[in-house]
Amino acid sequence: MTQEDAPAHAPIRAHNPLPAQDLRIGHGYDLHRLEPAPPAGKGRPLIVGGIRLEFDRGPVAHSDGDVLLHAVTDALLGAIAGPDIGQLFPDTDPAHAGEDSSRYVAEALRLVHEAGYAPVSLDATVVLERPRLGPSKQAVRENLARLLAMPVDRVNVKGKTHEGVDAVGEGRAIEAHCVVLLARASGA
Ligand code: MG
């Protein structure tokens, strides 16, 4: 049958010739309000992906407010259909006040390993109007790769503005999106 004769709904292949792989994908999203530093506001120092960015505003948060590490944590947990970050680390628990969010990533990674998987690819986007993420992007990538025990070339971070509109564009909030791919760990 030529391509012209094939019905429009015909599948390109009858079956997938690739060997079945045990993959999981997870998505994470987070947003924090930004406020001036004390005493004018309640903003904490601005930390993104474990890297401190110099800015006169910072996130309002129970923990250190690292919006990217929170999105990464939820992506890892989502990929194994686990509890979300708020269930694991309630923001009502005084034990987590001001906490370094890399601990959340470490616990999510431990659960991923316990489920028999390991992260093989991560892509994230941080949306903030100011400051620019560009100068810190490589440091953020390298820190994420270190936290997740992944090669840097499998970790990507992008920075975008919100074009001056809505809360993020007006500098009143910062948000992050993350997708992570897990593969069954060898020997698991
Ligand atoms: Mg958060």
Residue 6 included in any domain: no
Residue 10: its pLDDT value, please? 63
Ligand 1 centroid – CA 178 distance (Å)? 13
Residue 13 included in any domain: no
Domain of 147, CATH number, reads 3.30.1330.50
Structure tokens at 157: 């971070």
Ligand 1 centroid – CA 9 distance (Å)? 44
Residue 159 included in any domain: yes
Ligand 1 centroid – CA 139 distance (Å)? 21
Tell me the three state secondary structure of residue 180: strand
Neighbours of 106 (CB within 10 A): 13
Ligand 1 centroid – CA 16 distance (Å)? 39
Residue 146 included in any domain: yes
* The total number of structural domains that make up the chain: 1
Peptide bond into 151 cis (omega under 30): no
Ligand 1 centroid – CA 101 distance (Å)? 9
Residues 83-121 have pLDDT tens digits of: 999 999 988 888 888 899 999 999 999 999 999 999 999
Tell me the residue range of the domain where 155 lies. 21-184
Kindly report the backbone phi and psi dihedral angles of residue 144, in degrees, each rounded to the nearest multiple of 5, phi listed first.
Answer: -60, -45
Angle at 13 between CA 7 and CA 19, to 5 degrees: 165
Ordered alpha helix ranges (H), 32-101: 67-79, 85-88
Residue 21: its pLDDT value, please? 78
Residue 11 included in any domain: no
Residue 16: its pLDDT value, please? 58
Residue 9 included in any domain: no
Structure tokens at 148: 């997740």
CB burial readout 67-100, b (16+ within 10 A) else e: bbbbbbbbbbbbbbebeebeebbeeeeeebeebe
Q: Which parts of the chain sit beneath pLDDT 50?
A: none
Ligand 1 centroid – CA 147 distance (Å)? 18
